[in-house]
Structure 1
């Protein structure tokens, strides 16, 4: 009897979770209620894992994703995004968290914008089109931000300007956002040696020359970036 009751409670919990709505701001910060919400998501457990469907607050579908492990955010299956007008914006297929197969992006008028082939997360080839359907010169969807002259020049800049406050050695890992104007914002240490070293590393990055901003679909974009700094 106790086992049956426990199973019933578990099934009810799974069912409740699947029906529960999670509300989010425009930047996808979770909210406790509909106040200030731009989107909400619902979840459903399947044999393969979990599906998540996200809607605009008015109930219009925004995106659908299949996960083999939701907790670890491992996508496995279809991932579809829609424009507010209901037309598809993006179609991708994931295998064990990596894009695999043909992915398509569209204009709001439903005309295909780009079609790309991937294998185990690696880009193979692709085509780009204008809004009239005419093929144009291909350009990558995602371009990482870059320090002027490349990563070697960045480390030269660090070596020249970093003033060690003590004799400690090790590796620091730093994350930051490269803004569209090339400035660095939201700089934070994710691995440090000690307070003195961290303070000096942050000073050097705060005084960094402007970076070349990253691009998403051909347009300058805010891009999160991570980098290690080794102190020998």
Structure 2
């Protein structure tokens, strides 16, 4: 699950290198208070290594995670704004081992996953249901059919914390890497057709992180093939 970053009116990022590739990144709130501290084995490749800490603007720890070589290894701890424990999970080489959750009063509650993906409102609610709903509103562009252009178009979008589809856009990296220059204008028509299908998706049940609704990035591959 990939959660989209929040938009701040102002923020500061400090990157400190330990060697040519590793080091740490600190992010600060607009007020100047520390928001997060993340140590990396490799900053460019985003390989976490060590204890990552995240904070409320009050200075209270919000979450701590232990990483070894980019994988959770040890504990993930989360806290309420008043400092009471919210979650305690154990991992071994990226594999979940055990977990406990607590209510605001500190009493244990039924365990639930830290990351919960959005669920589509129709069909089985899974990725297959999303794909089927998209394809119901996709029409093969005439020019692409005439020129026998096939391909897979990857569309990026965000399911926001209210379950609505936002920020629909094509994956331009795919266009640059896989499409011959003389066919890019036709391929862009396929992208427009695919985006039309995504924009007509109905609402989702929002994704959650530690029980709180969050914006979640989503990718849908749309296949155009002439039979």
TM-score by length of 2: 0.78
Say if 2:26 and 2:36, in contact at 8 Å, map to a contact too: yes
Deviation at 1:197, TM superposition (A): 1.1
Deviation at 1:169, TM superposition (A): 1.4
Deviation at 1:188, TM superposition (A): 0.9
Unaligned 5+ segments in structure 1 are 1-24, 29-35
Which structure 2 residues correspond to residues 196-215 of structure 1 after superposition, within 5 A? Answer: 196-215=189-208
Pair 1:221-2:221 in alignment: no
Aligned residue-pair number: 200
Secondary structure class of the residue paired with 2:105: coil
Cα separation, partners in 2 of 1:82 and 1:180, compared to 1, 3 Å: closer
Structure 1 distance, partners of 2:135, 2:32, is 53
Which structure 2 residues correspond to residues 162-181 of structure 1 after superposition, within 5 A? Answer: 162-165=138-141, 166-167=144-145, 168-181=149-162
Structure 1 distance, partners of 2:115, 2:103, is 18
Q: Quote the residue 2:184 is aligned against.
A: none
Unaligned 5+ segments in structure 2 are 180-186
TM-score by length of 1: 0.77
Pair 1:103-2:76 in alignment: yes
Report 1 or 2 for greater relative contact order, CA contacts < 8 Å, sequence distance ≥ 6: 2
Secondary structure class of the residue paired with 2:132: helix
Larger radius of gyration: 1
Cα separation, partners in 2 of 1:155 and 1:51, compared to 1, 3 Å: closer
Structure 2 distance, partners of 1:229, 1:187, is 13
Structure 2 distance, partners of 1:27, 1:151, is 27
Cα separation, partners in 2 of 1:54 and 1:160, compared to 1, 3 Å: closer
Q: Which moved more, 1:117-126 or 1:130-139?
A: 117-126
Moved over 6 A (4+): none
Deviation at 1:59, TM superposition (A): 4.1
Q: Quote the residue 1:151 is aligned against.
A: 127
Which structure 2 residues correspond to residues 26-105 of structure 1 after superposition, within 5 A? Answer: 27=7, 37=10, 39-46=11-18, 49-105=22-78
Which structure 2 residues correspond to residues 186-205 of structure 1 after superposition, within 5 A? Answer: 186-190=167-171, 191-192=174-175, 194-205=187-198
